Structure 1
Amino acid sequence: MAAGADLGAHSLSNADLLNADLTGANLHGLAMRHALLTNADLRNADLRNTDLAEAALTGANLTHANLTNAYLRGAFLRTADLTRAELSGANLSNADLTGANLTGVIALPGRTQGNLPYSVILSGANLNVAVLTLAHLEHADLHNANLATANLREANLRKANLVNARLAHANLVGANLSGADLTGATLDHADLVDVTWSEQTRWPQDLAAVMRERSVPIGGGQWQVQGSGNSGAGLEFPLVPVS
């Protein structure tokens, strides 16, 4: 298939596009459920409003792809490259993004779900070992997501929903958690150095006082975590969140 292809309104559900070159392709609004896109080249592809539910995108290159309002529930995106992809309004609930590269992804708020604003839905998604450095995930829905060992260095997670998220061993150095809800989240051995948080940030039960002890006020109702090492560094007792 030629790069930059315009596939019009055709359905590609269950299509075999293994290793396909879809660079810059216009796939806007297509039905691509269960499509086989393993190792496909989708750089700069237009996937706005595309239905990719349970599609196989393992190893796919989605660099700079536009996935605005795309539906990727249950999609397989292991080791996929989503560097600087546009994910505003996308639904990736229960998607498998193990080892995926989401460096600099952009998910802008402005949508509502149950009267609550959100930018991208990643609830229940598996982001184990995923790279999300410099990701723009303000208002992202990440509740019940597996972010264990994920790299979230300098990620913007302002007002993100991280309820019951698994963040054990995650790298959150320099991340912005202002207004984020981490109720019930697991932060064992997470690196929280230089994390910015606010009075509106909800930490796991019994963790708020510990975080305040490790932080210094930086103005505007915000705090910054000090110290070095993991979430228990500099404390006389290990930091174990109570759910």
Structure 2
Amino acid sequence: MNGRTGAGPELVIFDCDGVLIDSEPISLARLTENLRRIGVPIDLATVARRFTGTSMTSIMAHIATDYGVPTPEGFVDAVRADTLRAFDGELQAIAGAGAVLGTMRERRCVASSSDPLRLRHALSLTGLLEHFGGHVFSATQVARGKPFPDLFLYAAAQMDVAPERCVVIEDSVPGVTAACAAGMPVLGFCGGGHWGHDRTGTDLLAAGAVRVFDAFTDLPHLLATWDAASR
């Protein structure tokens, strides 16, 4: 592992949806409509509460168990294609993300539940891909997605950084749970559109986040004062 020492984190691992890009309102709406199309009696509020930050593999396993609706052939690919079409017309970066990433000195990567095609499409569309130097990791590269720690441990290993020298930026309980299980401290971000007016992040703190913030432009200060913030 890299032997760098210092006050701040050596690696910042960003979730993508709801942290870098304001995609969750779009994604959750498309998922809800497609689930209802195959006969799942579910509404947007339930989808948001249960599946934000969760991989499609885990989502469809829950749907089969809880609703008795097996995944139709081609359904996941159809949802992904539908979501990408919606992204083309609606997707935006989280306010301030591009400017902050452009001035960050810390090493950084992305670790997301989304599949690689969607990840790169979304980050390219919003102009953020260039800030990660190809270091974009997907849950499809590991055995288990969030809330398991596999993806974050994989990302840290690929970047050759010890887990305790990482800081994760997450917006969902499964993501915070996964980071904590990986031995990585977490900052909870609650500035995405899916948070609505309640941006207290109480559930993220309860899941183990060190603290929460709702303006991306606050991130440089939080990282610069990380030792104090993490105690």
Shorter-chain TM range is under 0.3
| Larger helix share, 1 or 2 | 2
TM-score after normalising by structure 1: 0.24
